């Protein structure tokens, strides 16, 4: 087991971000999209903490990370509420069916 | 005869301001009658129309008399009235003023024109009484008088030419007065066209003269032609007295400075000054100038005379005058006897100082005059229409006038002009009276015996015949005699291409004497045929059932005839030759300041002159005797017998030597063929080119249309189509699905990062 450098963390968070993006863009289920958004946020969190440990020192990175977690939770709640509202309107939560923005 | 040395000085002019009234009155009369004549005649009758006309003439005559009286008050050196109104235009060296000038010559002409013009206007009231277009006739007559006055009173070539053209126009209008008759209209056109031929020569001569006076091309030192700039304006030149003793008398040989304009000018006075006063050197310069090897003065003289040939009906441009008899008789009397046809003589007399410099021009003028006199006299022998006889007589007498001004007897030519005006007007108006009396019959074979029926006409006609035949104590004798005598004593003439011909003068004399004999013969023939014997007309009348008898004409006609006949006789007084009285004739003295040319004649004794006068009279007597023998009382059979024997000769002469037919075959046919060729050219080639241009335009337009339709519209449509397709394609981007948009944003962000990473 070698030394863990910053790069390792960055690669992992990039991977996470990529999977999250994939989920957001590809999945049809709205809840799955939300899960993807969580992944993206967690990837960003990981980035923040890693940079806080390896570059800036102190507790800035971690604190920032806490903020993001809170934010993610709130945002997930709101997102689910929106999905609920859409479900009550159209009786499904298929993202590819929500096309009223299309002209 | 030598003239005094007053030629040294430039013409002294007296400035007056009323001369413009003389031509103005006839112009106003013409204008009023032309504009309002129809209405005036309808409302107020013919009386008002002719009153306007005659009133204008009388006013004009009175002003002319006033000018004459004014002129008499001055001494002969200063008789020159000048009235310049304004400058019409000035272009380079050409300066034309609206100016009127009266010197003794133009004063004489003006008096003739206004006096005889007034009389003929009065005559016309009687003669044209039945004419519906009365107002038009009087308007034209007044317009003619205006133009003629402009001609003689204009102080420069341009005004003279304006009048020259104007009288040609009025001549046309009046000859073709009854224009509904196509023959009369054709006669008018013939007069105008032949006049135009003459005017062409006149203009050429004028241009040549103007060019010769200044701005000539000279061969410079380098052999190239260079243009000499105009000489400065009024030059002060030093005049040296030509006679030493006079100089000693006057200013003790002191040089006097004179203000003379040297260079090209159109003004007669300036022209006269710079040529006559020899110290300007202009006369010498002109005499030595040549163009294409021909002396320029000779050419100028000949070309100007071509103009005179047209206007004054000399050979070969005489053809219009006999046809002009188609016009009303007053017109023939005024225009074709007394005034218009004398314009040519006036022009030569006015430019006497130029003609006198060139013996060739003089010889040409005199010879053509003599030839015309002889030619026309011979034709007059056999004509039956009384007006045609008088027409040929006019041509013949004009020939005499040109003999006069040709050989250098300028005052004699002018005198014959004066006497001819009187007796020819009398003859024409007399014939008009006869024609009126015979109910518009003009053939002399249908007349006769009118002496008893129309006594006033007979006596005036006889007096005029006496004058024209040249019997003593009538004016024609003095004028014709002077001309022929001077012709005989002129040995300094030259002929084109022949050089100096000392005996040309004598030849001209012989031709003139023969013509004079002929004149007497045919005039008395016309008299005897018309007035003696028995009346032969009336039965072949113009539908008049009654055997009508001619009666004397009304007073308006006979009074005029009497006045003119008296004038014809009295005009003799001013021309009595020096050989009889020892002093120069009155008219010669009067005209001397206006005719400055010094011409040399051979000297003969007075007895020789008397001999020649006797020959002249006998020529007239011989003619009269023959006429009397053949035609008195129209009883003799000899004319018919002679006609039968010499039928061939008679036919040729009766048909005017077929000159008209020759012209018809050559000039007229040539012109018409040329017109046809040009018309073909115009229709085929010119119109073809125009149509081709049109066709090309059409083709180009079609091409443009195609380009527009296919290329331009295609491009525009293509752009529109591609925009639509692009839009259709791009519309698919807007899926409405957020995930798609997010996907796009992600791809874009990655792309930017990659780009930034790869491209440093």
Q: What is the pLDDT of residues B525-534, one digit of tens each?
A: 888 888 888 7
Enumerate the residues of chain B whose CB falls inside 8 A of the CB of residue A95.
737-739
Residue A56 resides in a domain: yes
Separation CA B481–CA B625 (nearest Å): 20
B737 CA: distance to closest CA in chain A (Å): 5
In contact, B360 and B298? CB cutoff 8 Å: yes
Positive or negative: CA dihedral B662, B665, B669, B670:
negative
Burial of B256 (0-12, 13-18, 19+ CB in 10 A): middle
> What was the pLDDT predicted at B253?
31
Mean pLDDT of B682-710: 90
Residue B542 has pLDDT above 60, yes or no: no
- Helix/strand/coil for B499: strand
Instruction: Output helix, strand, coil percentages for chain A, rounded to the nearest 5.
Output: 80, 0, 20
**Which site among B733, B738, B749, B750 would you substitute to test the A interface, given the most A Cβ atoms closer than 10 Å to its Cβ?**
B738
Q: Is B749 on the interface with A (CB under 8 A)?
A: no
Shortest CA distance to B129 belongs to which of B651, B603, B504, B554? B554
The answer to whether the beta carbons of residues B453 and B595 sit under 8 Å apart is: no
- Residue position matching structure tokens 């006199």: B373
Angular region, B256: left φ>0, alpha ψ -120 to 50, beta rest: beta
Is residue A68 in a domain?
yes
Which pLDDT does position B254 carry in this prediction?
Answer: 34
Q: Are B414 and B497 in contact (CB under 8 A)?
A: no
Partner-chain contact A95 B737, CB within 8 Å: yes
CA angle B134, B140, B142 (to 5 degrees): 105
Write out the H or E segment, with its range, that includes residue B431: helix B410-437
Q: What average pLDDT does this structure show over B91-118?
A: 89
Residue at A51 is within a domain = yes
Are B530 and B386 in contact by the 8 Å Cβ rule? The answer is yes
Asked whether the predicted pLDDT for residue B249 surpasses 50, the reply is no
Q: What is the pLDDT of residue B244?
A: 43
- Among B173-187, B313-327, B730-744, which stretch is predicted with the lowest mean pLDDT? B730-744
Low-confidence ranges of chain A (pLDDT < 70): 1, 101-103
B235: pLDDT strictly greater than 60: no
Cβ contacts of A45 within 8 Å, gap of 6 or more: A65, A68, A69
Cβ of B739 and A24 within 8 Å? yes
pLDDT reading at B230 higher than 80: no
| Pick from B7-11, B27-31, B217-221, B464-468: least confident | B217-221
pLDDT digits (tens, 9 = 90+) for B332-342: 888 877 787 88
Tell me whether residues A95 and B738 touch, CB distance under 8 A: yes
**Alpha carbon separation from B83 to B12, B13, B17, B112, B655 (Å, rounded):** 13, 9, 5, 20, 49
The closest alpha carbon to B411, from B330, B473, B356, belongs to: B356
Instruction: Band the pLDDT of B544: cuts 50, 70, 90.
Output: very low
| pLDDT for B238 beyond 60 | no
pLDDT in tens, B128-175: 888 888 999 999 999 999 999 999 999 899 999 999 999 999 999 999
Give the residue numbers in A contacting B (CB under 8 Å), as ranges. Answer: 21, 24-26, 33, 95-96, 98-103
What is the C-alpha separation between A27 and B740, in angstroms, rounded? Answer: 11
Q: What is the 8-class DSSP label of residue B247?
A: H
Residues B553-593: tens digit of each pLDDT = 788 788 888 888 888 888 887 777 777 777 777 888 888 88
Tens digits of residue pLDDT in B701-712:
999 999 888 888
- Distance from C-alpha of B655 to C-alpha of B239, rounded to nearest angstrom: 58
Beta-carbon separation of B739 and A26 below 8 A: yes
Weakest-pLDDT range from B200-204, B276-280, B312-316, B712-716: B276-280
Contacts across the A-B interface (CB distance below 8 Å): 32
- What pLDDT, on a 0 to 100 scale, did the predictor assign at position B226? 59
Indicate whether B216 pLDDT > 70. Answer: no
Nearest-10 Cα torsion for B736, B741, B744, B748: 140
* pLDDT-wise least confident of A46-55, B260-269, B396-405: B260-269
Res. B227: pLDDT tops 70: no
What is the bridge-based pairing of β-strands B14-15 and B81-91?
parallel
DSSP label at A29? B
The CATH number of residue A10's host domain is: 1.10.287.3510
Helix (H) or strand (E) holding B321: helix B320-323
Q: Note whether B82 and B103 are within 8 A (CB).
A: no
Report if residue A103 sits inside a domain. Answer: no
Average pLDDT, chain B: 83
Cβ distance B738 to A96 less than 8 Å, yes or no, reads: no
Chain A residues within an 8 Å CB radius of B747: none
Q: What is the mean pLDDT of residues B343-369?
A: 89
* A64 is a domain residue: yes
Tell me the average pLDDT across B674-681.
Answer: 90
* Chain segment B45-62, per-residue pLDDT in tens: 888 888 999 999 999 999
Domain presence at residue A102: no
pLDDT at A52: 93
Q: Is the pTM of this model over 0.80?
A: no
| Residue in chain A lying closest to B740 (CA) | A25
ipTM for this model? 0.83
Q: How many domains does chain A have?
A: 1
- In this predicted structure, the answer to whether residue B220 has a pLDDT above a threshold of 90 is no
Q: How far apart are the first and last CA of chain A?
A: 56
Tell me which residue has tokens 């004066």.
B418
Q: Distance of alpha carbon B390 from its chain centroid, rounded?
A: 20
**Which segment of B103-112, B246-255, B577-586 scores lowest on mean pLDDT?**
B246-255
Distance (Å, rounded) from C-alpha B523 to C-alpha B623? 9
Interface test with A, best of B733, B737, B744, B745 (most A CBs within 10 A): B737
Residue A43 lies in a domain: yes
The pLDDT of residue B229 = 59
Residue A1 in domain: no
- Lowest-confidence range among B248-252, B387-391, B457-461? B248-252
Domain that holds residue A73: 6-97
pLDDT at residue A8, as a whole number: 93
B83-87, B324-328, B629-633: which range is least confident on average? B629-633
Beta bridge partners, B294, equal B291
| Predicted confidence (pLDDT) at residue B215 exceeds the cutoff of 60 | no
Average pLDDT value for residue range B300-322: 89
Flag if B738 and A25 touch (Cβ within 8 Å). Answer: no
Of A21, A99, A103, the CB nearest to B737: A99
B160: buried, middle or exposed (CB in 10 Å: 19+, 13-18, 0-12)?
Answer: buried
List the single best residue of A25, A27, A101 to mutate versus B (max B Cβ within 10 A).
A25
Strands (E), B37-108: 81-91, 94-102
Residues 6+ apart with CB under 8 A from B67: B16, B18, B19, B22, B81, B102, B107, B110
User: Rounded to an integer, what distance in angstroms lies between the CA atom of residue A50 and that of residue A39?
Assistant: 16
Question: What pLDDT score was predicted for residue A41?
Answer: 96
């Amino acid at each position: 087991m070698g030394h863990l450098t910053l790069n390792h963390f960055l690669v992992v968070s990039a991977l996470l971000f990529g999977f999250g993006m994939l989920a957001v863009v590809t999945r049809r289920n709205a809840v799955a999209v939300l899960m993807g958004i969580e992944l993206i946020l967690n990837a960003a969190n990981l980035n923040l903490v890693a940079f806080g440990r390896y570059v800036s020192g102190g507790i800035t990175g971690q604190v920032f990370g806490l903020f993001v977690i809170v934010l993610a939770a709130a945002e997930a709640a709101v997102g689910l509420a929106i999905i609920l509202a859409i479900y009550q309107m159209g009786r499904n939560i298929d993202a590819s069916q929500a096309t009223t923005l299309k002209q | 005869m030598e003239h005094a040395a007053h030629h040294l000085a430039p013409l002294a002019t007296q400035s007056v301001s009323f001369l413009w009234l003389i031509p103005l009155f006839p112009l106003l009369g013409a204008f009023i009658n032309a504009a309002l004549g129809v209405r005036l005649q309808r409302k107020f009758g013919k009386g008002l129309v002719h009153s306007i006309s005659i009133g204008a003439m009388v006013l004009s005559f009175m002003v002319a008399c006033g000018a004459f009286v004014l002129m008499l008050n001055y001494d002969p050196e200063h008789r020159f009235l000048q009235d310049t109104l304004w400058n019409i235009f000035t272009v380079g060296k050409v300066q034309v003023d609206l100016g009127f000038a009266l010197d003794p010559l133009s004063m004489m002409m003006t008096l003739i024109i206004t006096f005889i013009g007034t009389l003929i206007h009065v005559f016309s009231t009687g003669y044209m009484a039945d004419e519906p277009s009365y107002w038009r006739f009087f308007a034209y007559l007044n317009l003619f008088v205006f133009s003629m006055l402009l001609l003689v009173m204009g102080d420069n070539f341009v005004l003279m030419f304006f009048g020259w053209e104007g009288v040609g126009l009025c001549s046309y209008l009046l000859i073709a007065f009854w224009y509904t008759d196509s023959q009369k209209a054709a006669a008018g056109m013939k007069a105008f066209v032949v006049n135009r031929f003459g005017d062409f020569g006149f203009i050429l001569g004028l241009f040549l003269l103007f060019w010769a006076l200044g701005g000539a091309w000279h061969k410079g030192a380098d052999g190239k032609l260079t243009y000499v700039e105009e000489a400065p304006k009024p030059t002060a030149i030093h005049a040296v007295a030509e006679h030493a003793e006079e100089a000693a008398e006057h200013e003790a040989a002191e040089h006097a400075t004179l203000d003379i304009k040297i260079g090209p000018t159109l003004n007669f006075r300036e022209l006269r000054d710079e040529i006559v006063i020899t110290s300007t050197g202009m006369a010498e310069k002109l005499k030595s100038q040549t163009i294409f090897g021909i002396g320029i003065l000779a050419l100028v003289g000949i070309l100007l005379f071509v103009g005179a040939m047209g206007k004054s009906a000399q050979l070969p441009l005489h053809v219009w005058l006999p046809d002009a008899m188609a016009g009303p008789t007053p017109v023939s009397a005024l225009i074709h006897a007394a005034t218009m046809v004398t314009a040519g003589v006036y022009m030569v007399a006015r430019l006497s100082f130029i003609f006198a410099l060139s013996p060739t021009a003089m010889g040409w003028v005199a010879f053509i005059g003599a030839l015309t006199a002889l030619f026309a006299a011979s034709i007059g022998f056999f004509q039956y229409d009384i007006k045609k006889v008088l027409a040929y007589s006019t041509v013949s007498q004009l020939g005499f006038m040109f003999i006069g001004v040709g050989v250098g007897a300028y005052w004699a030519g002018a005198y014959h002009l004066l006497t001819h005006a009187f007796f020819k007007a009398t003859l024409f108006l007399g014939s008009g009276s006869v024609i009126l009396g015979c109910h518009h019959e003009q053939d002399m074979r249908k007349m006769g015996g009118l002496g008893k029926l129309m006594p006033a006409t007979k006596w005036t006609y006889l007096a005029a015949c006496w004058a024209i035949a040249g019997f003593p104590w009538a004016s024609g004798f003095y004028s014709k005699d002077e001309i022929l005598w001077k012709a005989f004593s002129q040995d300094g003439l030259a002929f084109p291409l022949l050089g100096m011909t000392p005996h040309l003068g004598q030849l001209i004399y012989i031709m003139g004497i023969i013509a004079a004999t002929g004149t007497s013969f045919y005039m008395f023939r016309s008299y005897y045929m018309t007035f003696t014997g028995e009346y032969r007309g009336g039965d072949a009348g113009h539908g008049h059932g009654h055997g009508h008898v001619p009666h004397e004409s009304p007073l308006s006609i006979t009074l005029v005839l009497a006045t003119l006949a008296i004038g014809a006789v009295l005009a003799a007084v001013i021309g009595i030759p020096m050989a009889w009285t020892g002093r120069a004739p009155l008219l010669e003295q009067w005209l001397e300041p206006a005719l400055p040319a010094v011409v040399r004649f051979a000297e003969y004794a007075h007895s020789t002159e008397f001999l020649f006068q006797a020959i002249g009279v006998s020529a007239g007597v011989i003619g009269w005797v023959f006429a009397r023998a053949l035609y008195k009382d129209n009883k003799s059979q000899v004319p018919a017998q002679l006609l039968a024997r010499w039928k061939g000769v008679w036919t040729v002469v009766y048909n005017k030597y077929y000159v008209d037919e020759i012209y018809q075959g050559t000039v007229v046919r040539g012109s018409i063929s040329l017109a046809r060729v040009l018309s073909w050219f115009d229709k085929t080639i010119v119109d073809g080119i125009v149509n081709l241009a049109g066709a090309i335009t059409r083709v180009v337009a079609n091409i443009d249309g195609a380009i527009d339709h296919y290329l331009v519209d295609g491009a525009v449509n293509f752009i529109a189509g591609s925009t639509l397709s692009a839009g259709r394609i791009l519309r698919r981007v807007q899926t409405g699905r957020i995930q798609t948009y997010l996907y796009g944003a992600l791809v874009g962000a990655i792309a930017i990062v990659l780009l930034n990473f790869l491209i440093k």
